Amino acid sequence: MFTRGIWKSVYLVETAPVAIEYLVPEVMYDGVAWPVTPWADGDANFTVHATVHVYAAAATAGTLLLEGAWGAAISKMAALVVGHNTITVTLAATGPALWWPSGMGKQRMYELNATFTPAIGAAVRTGRRIGFRLAAFVTVCPYLHAVPHALTVFFRPEMDV
């Protein structure tokens, strides 16, 4: 016997004329040189590139507001077409408190919220939690003469839990 059509659970969802589907943050170290010593909180700057995926049932215009709990915010006007849209914005994070692995310090997380307010209709909002940290796989390092590859992750030498 063959199955045709729907064969698993299905549900229908009513959405507003505009809906934020995904908020995708990308946290990047913003230093001019690669760090060679361990960091403390506030020692490094980061850039947060956020891509907001927005669905629109009808063509509309509006404003996207992106707010980081570390004190940064930016707004951007956007014209949405019918269907799926992407809006990319960039926020600076100057000297945030860092996320430390378990046992090495606090796992500080920051809220990143995106709000799209259409010209007509209610605003929609979503959020994500992000942390600031640097970990890198180093393939060429002048400081490690005998080791061709190394995993560099800067942790604090003292425990601060």
Domain extent listing, the chain: 18-153
What local confidence, expressed as pLDDT, does residue 151 receive?
52
What is the pLDDT averaged over residues 120-141? 81
Q: Give residue-wise pLDDT tens across range 2-55.
A: 667 777 888 887 778 899 999 999 999 887 777 767 778 888 899 999 999 999
Residue 64: φ, ψ to 5°:
-100, 130
Q: Look up the pTM and report it.
A: 0.76
Please tell me the CATH code under which domain 18-153 is placed: 2.60.40.10
* CA–CA separation, 35 and 84 (whole Å): 39
Compute the distance between CA of residue 100 and CA of residue 158 in angstroms, rounded to an integer.
12
Interatomic CA distance for residues 109 and 122, integer angstroms: 29
Query: What is the reported pLDDT for 148?
Result: 52
pLDDT, average across residues 63-74: 96
Beta bridge partners of 60: 80
Angstrom distance (rounded) from CA 35 to CA 141:
12
